[in-house]
Structure 1
């Protein structure tokens, strides 16, 4: 297997769009920019943003210990995932493998890109079934999506099983680490250089508290990143997003403290949820949410809505019958939730 053999022929032959900021990247106070048909009156956002987000990537490189040439930034993780589909999957020909219950956008993006989805359910304890995955794959299986920690179950996948899949699956393995900052397990970024077929996606929407700016991150080999850069929109991450991300990423202590508080609240919340009689099971969580099994998910969901509490009803997902997903809130929010649940 080589990465070049996995890339769509039309993508390999593509000549990328060259933006004004690609053709000239110099910065000088004396420069007069009359090249991009921008409004010339300065207001802070009248110029196009850096198409390669160099300042932001440099800061992320220091935080994640990954070279800038091994990362691509996108308008949320959804854009990053969509670009991965476009790079590797030939419409109406190729397929991808997902492991339900899992993040629903994988299947949505597959449908948008006219790519078949092969579903191989997780085991009863929500771990990948290696033999089933490998048996289900074929020569047209381009991508395997592993969400770890998994959404909506909250658990991380066994590192031994993931490594086996990285070595044996004949395509790209995307490990979605949206919730890795809440996990006891190490990120697969630490082993990025070992596996040429590995792509790791992360986000600033969860632990970093920046869901509103929409910034997703893709980490992969320089070969994969170089190709993704040829197909991404030229200015896909706006100036406001770049500046806000830089500002917040510099406040490492705040992020660390908030993660610590969320983890403490998660433990306390689990302890209290165990005391509620209509909750029959609380699944182990390595994320900032908890999946619980109740007597009647629809009933309990509607009861909470009527009391002003919004959670997610996951009862229709595979092997999640009568399950609700609760995001860990602040101490005040969690106390309010628990009081209402106990009153029910």
Structure 2
């Protein structure tokens, strides 16, 4: 690549999450995907960047009783990085969904405090921690320190200007907006765009349309009459599967956008239109700008959206790391 060791500012990556995820059906220390952290560290050793960023799911904290996370931090230290870890909540950074990420940041050398490289929340949002958040005796969830921050971006704030669609409606490839931008979020998402792409409604079968007719905004499978429930859910406790067959509350946060907007996976029914989220609506909730075009089959497009780190969260982390690196450069110039 023509780079000398130490020239590169940042090596960033997120090895496949499935081996660590608290939602995965099987979590095993023998999962070959987990060894990809060693491959990532090989890149770090090769380029010796000024900073290292690793992102993963919250389940990383509890995997092997915290041993895997501890090993990663020790390995970064062995390679010459001061490193630390926090769990970030995407709504604190303007993302309209309940999404958590474990973020590890390492800064090369022993003079830098890696905690200063983590971004500060810019919004308040309701949260519920349903995973292990303690590591080495401390809670590593990053929380706002300023209670006067503006409130979170809601689902309605995020997608209400997109054109209405019926169940299964395809329409033109590039559609007109439903209205002018209604808030700063929509203004930002529409910057550089001259229309709405990837906005086609998946076709739900008749049984799911019937089920959806009983579900109010904010409701879920427990609102469906028992005889219409999938057979496997008829004996489920009402406290189980609380997101399945959910219709999102317009003034709340969306469920985590996964690689399918399937009603059996979560709350992906539109709050006022009787259909599931389109790829574009999922992308808005992931804070991709409207100018970003997704390609491939619709299944592949949903996967591209769901596998991504939300753009606004990624940008916040990047700006924070850049700020620390710029301070270190200024300090180095003064010393020299």
TM-score when normalising by structure 1: 0.28
**Does 1 or 2 have the higher relative contact order (CA < 8 Å, sep 6+)?**
1
Higher share of residues assigned helix: 1
Higher share of residues assigned strand: 1
TM-score when normalising by structure 2: 0.28
